[in-house]
Amino acid sequence: MLVPSGLGVCGESLAEIGLADAAKPSSSWRWKQDDGVVGLLDGDCTLWQFNFDWKNSKAYFHPIALTSGPVLTADRPADHLWHHGMWFSWKYINHVNYWEENRDTGQSEGRTTWSNVRIDLRDDFSARIKMDLAYVDPSGVTVMTEKRTIDITCPDDEGMYSFDWECDFTAQDDSLNLGRTPTLDEPDGKAWGGYAGLSVRFAVGMESQQLRTGTDVAHFQKGRYRGKSFALDYSGVIDEKSVGVAVLNCYQNLTHPTSWYADASATMSYLSPAVLYEGPLQLSAGDTLKTRYRVMIHSGIWESDRLHQEYRTYTQEYGGSVQSQPQLSATGDNE
């Protein structure tokens, strides 16, 4: 959702209107807290960890795991050192690269900084993270700010839990351009073009990758999926266990249904609701772009009916209704 300067948006926090029902906390769960790190432990195993040390180029979640099994995410894999478990990054702001990181310094051309980090770790093992971010160009000018809130549920009886991302991006003194690598149908386009925003990099070695929309099975074409839908589930096998991540795109988002950027190969499994896949976005000074997503961590392979029901629940929590389903591409091959 794009909000012009001076206009507000109504809507309660999901924590105030009730998130998904959680199981009774396990006696083996405990909070982990250290400088620049918080997380939920199950005995000696980390279920999730948020990394926000200011030495990092991005604030991110890794590891993300299930109560019953493997770690689902990868941080700084050899092929893309700037991939960080689950994280949010723009590709280009005013044609400055905020995505890739220098292999020697670990920093990007455009800097993403954060401050005023507030973390509420609750007795029921749910959590809320709030932080202020700034996007700073090479000359030191802050071109955009962000207010970010992430609500994390306690794992339920199935071991499933979710992250609700709410990000409000505001252009500062001048208009700006949010861009990405062009897609194949554009001048100088690339097969890998179109990515930016919230991303999940799965553990190296994930096998048997498969996709579900809320209405059908989706298919990779040459290891890529670029279809549109209101939600997408990416499942596979890690350490001989079936696991998955479902991403639900809020109906209030500027792009809804959203285009997806999903890759699957022997070396890389990646998922993103690609907010800029359809094209770059211009923000005038003072404009605010709002993005909302629910990311659900689960065991097993979800069918479309389950994903659809979770999407309905998410939509209803935002005060919306699912009146009709978007038309979905059978293959999602937009390239």
Helices (H) and strands (E) in the chain, counts: 2, 24
Angle at 90 between CA 87 and CA 91, to 5 degrees: 120
Of 302, 176, 198, residue with least CA distance to 255 = 198
Tokens found for residue 210: 């498969």
Q: What are phi and psi of 24, to 5 degrees?
A: -65, 135
Using CA atoms, how far apart are residues 266 and 159, in angstroms rounded to an integer?
27
Cβ burial of 276 (10 Å; 0-12, 13-18, 19+) is buried
Looking at residue 321, its pLDDT comes to: 62
What residue ranges define each of the domains in the chain, with the CATH number in brackets?
68-317 (2.70.98)
Per-position pLDDT tens, the chain of length 335: 554 443 333 233 333 334 444 456 778 999 999 999 999 999 999 999 999 999 999 999 999 999 978 999 999 999 999 999 999 999 999 999 999 999 999 999 999 999 999 999 999 999 999 999 999 999 999 999 999 999 999 999 999 999 999 999 999 999 999 999 999 999 999 999 999 999 999 999 999 999 999 999 999 999 999 999 999 999 999 999 999 999 999 999 999 999 999 999 988 999 999 999 999 999 999 999 999 999 999 999 999 999 999 999 999 998 776 543 343 333 343 33
The pairs formed by 282-285 with CB atoms below 8 angstroms and a separation of 24 or more are 282/175, 282/176, 282/177, 282/178, 283/2, 283/144, 283/169, 283/171, 283/175, 283/176, 283/177, 283/178, 284/4, 284/5, 284/171, 284/175, 285/5, 285/171, 285/172, 285/173, 285/174, 285/175
Give the pLDDT of residue 269.
99
CA–CA–CA angle 169, 201, 68 (5° rounding): 115
Q: pLDDT at position 263, please?
A: 98
Distance CA 335, CA 242 (A): 29
98 — phi, psi (to 5°)? Answer: -105, 0
- The pLDDT of residue 317 is 92
pLDDT at 257: 96
| CA-based end-to-end distance of the chain | 26
For residues 152 and 288, is the Cβ–Cβ distance under 8 A?
no
- For 316, phi then psi, to 5°, come to -65, -35
pLDDT score for 213: 97
CA separation for the pair 46, 217 (Å, rounded): 32
Contacts of 23 (CB under 8 A, 6+ apart): 154, 155, 156, 157
Q: Report pLDDT for 69.
A: 83
Which pLDDT score is estimated for 1? 59
Q: Is the pTM of this model over 0.85?
A: yes
